[in-house]
Structure 1
């Protein structure tokens, strides 16, 4: 069995070598828009490409034709896939353009620069490296450089209407209001005196009341007066450190307690008067 397999190896190698693809009669022509031929080259696919790049103008047309066969045979072969690859070595951009091949292996390709295909990559100063790519289920693939192609530089792409929205904006320079200046000490002292004047008058009037009025020292009265003083202290605290929201919250609680204490103080005075009238 081993001997029979060894005897079949030469035949297998012959079949494998016969499954190579070849390109024959490759020819490329460049013509102007009026039909005059500007350049014609016969290509040696698999060999050395032309020494100088092919050049296309804005309205020129490149036409290429070739025949695909099995190596060593003249019968045409239709590969599964046939492409031309345009590659820019400077930018790394590439474009793949399919080529139509008929059943007899004859292929034609046309590139009209007046209407370039969308698959053509953006062009610059460097020439494209144009390669032929063949793929088949029953043959070995073929990828070979066939010529260099120089075309006019691509126009810059049109600006998208929303493109400015994606650009960085200038840095925002915040401008803060200067710190408020404190008024002169004399002005502050005057208004402090205005605020404290009612309390001074209150204590002055209380000192004039005869000591025979014991109801003024009742806890209800003292609590109410103390809560009024706490309200004044809350405003002073607001001026020194608190925010408006904190003052409103504390003032709501303190004001509710002050109202209840004032109500109790008035009830206490009314009760004292009723008791005094019955004596």
Structure 2
């Protein structure tokens, strides 16, 4: 029998999918809902869970141990809080003191979290090991294919995205006709798309390129896209989306591909 799973849940549909998967497979689980991050609407008394603020590291660890959790997965969008919002307890304060300046970026911070969890005796697993159909496959995902200009923009976007990722800044870039319209930082992909929409130039539309960071721990914070990403790109009159195959989570793929086809937007799994 599979070990009991602890789900550290942020926002979005991914925690919901994990709960559905555990129930389908008969796997025991316990969900930690992060205050200000997880979405409360779908959580019911039938789902074993507890709410904690992100800074309550000691209490979270104690509850996971009390629930006899062995494996832990980090799932869902998490907006980085300010220290005032975080209100770190003693365990969290020790953590931030130890990692110091190494964790200014998301990758460094998550690696530090994973290290603490493993030191406490848990095994950190990637969401893609639990839900098998989440990763973006290579090649065109719908009926629309990129043209030569889009392929050139994708190649340029990959170069920029890998450079950004190596600096632990972001995972996405928007390129149009060889010009970088914007890069992702703390605001996230949806805000990047909305910011670049008004910067669109005449002619062939922009392309969103998403790549994992070169140093990325594949258990943690893989790039993700879904129906909302497609909807924002359609609204901003983008030409398409290129995402790293095998390293990008694609939620709601069937509906997203249908929406992209209807709008004439290409979706492409790339292998940089």
TM-score by length of 2: 0.18
Higher strand content, 1 or 2: 1
Which structure would you say has the larger RCO, counting Cα contacts within 8 Å and 6 or more residues apart? 2
Q: Name the TM-score, length of structure 1 as normaliser.
A: 0.18
Work out which of the two has the higher radius of gyration on C-alpha atoms and give 1 or 2: 1
